[in-house]
Amino acid sequence: MMKSEKHFISTPKTAIVVNVGNASTAKNYWLVLHGYGQLAENFQSHFQNFDSQKNYFVIPNALNHFYLKSGKGDVGASWMTKYEREKDILDNNAYLNKVFHQFIKPYLTNERCFYVLGFSQGAATLIRWLAMEDIKVDKIILWGSVFPPDMENERYIHSLKNFQWMYFIGSQDEFISNEEKEKQKHFFESHQFSIQWIEYEGKHNFNANVLQRYF
């Protein structure tokens, strides 16, 4: 039998980043990560009703695309799968670093706020990035997600607990049971995170109207 070897190489990839709002006048700068099977160019529609002079949203598209059904039709994107997941995490972190330094960091001052928001799979991607990189944010907003188990060690928790957190969850979220909600609450409370828990009427979806009540 012939010997086979598996190798990893880095190769350039063109990524899509969608911006909403006015970067030069904004007071609030947002990095937003969409969920599994979604696209940035569709997810950006949630933020069209925010004040464009005060808010600037940067929405990177996940790097891995696929057909949502039967190999044809609508296309979605994924931040990672179980296959070579560690490599995807490192690629995502490098990608988000580039997005941050190109689209957000040049505008940040002491008078401006930087918020990060992740929906579903995007929230776990966001947490991994912030846990592994030295990025200062004013608030972390998780939506319809759970804290990734691979980040549940003291090294990462110690740095992440210093942020201000908000956790939004639908009362009928079909992917996160009531038992899992209580588990998440216990995790954040037991590790003394500064977190605001918001449960609203809804399923596993992002609701910009709910977000606007707080920003």
pLDDT single digits (tens) 190-209: 999 999 999 999 999 999 99
Q: Would you state the pLDDT for residue 172?
A: 95
Using 50, 70 and 90 to split pLDDT, how confident is the model at 70? Answer: confident
Q: Which residues contact 215 (CB under 8 A, 6 or more apart)?
A: 28, 50, 55, 115
Q: Would you state the pLDDT for residue 71?
A: 77
Domain definitions of the chain by residue range = 17-212
Pick the CATH number of 17-212 from 3.40.50.620, 3.40.50.720, 3.40.50.1820, 2.60.40.10: 3.40.50.1820
What is the tens place of the pLDDT at every residue in 4-60?
999 999 998 999 999 999 999 999 999 999 999 999 999 999 999 999 999 999 999
The mean pLDDT value of the chain amounts to 95
- The stretches of the chain forming alpha helices (DSSP H) are 40-43, 85-99, 121-132, 154-160, 178-190, 208-212
Residue 41 CA to residue 61 CA, distance in Å, equals: 8
Instruction: Name 72's bridge partners.
Output: 69
Residue 7 CA to residue 102 CA, distance in Å, equals: 31
What is the tens place of the pLDDT at every residue in 73-113?
899 999 999 999 999 999 999 999 999 999 999 999 999 99
The full 3-state SS of 153-175, as one line of letters, equals CHHHHHHHCCCEEEEEEECCCCC
Share of the chain above pLDDT 90, in %: 91
Q: Would you state the pLDDT for residue 146?
A: 94
Q: Which residue has the tokens 């490192």?
A: 90
CA distances (Å), 146 to each of 26, 59, 75, 141, in order?
A: 30, 21, 25, 12
Q: Would you state the pLDDT for residue 174?
A: 95
Q: Give the mean pLDDT of 163-190.
A: 95
Q: Would you state the pLDDT for residue 147?
A: 94
Residue 172 CA to residue 203 CA, distance in Å, equals: 5
The two beta strands, 64-69 and 55-60, are: unpaired
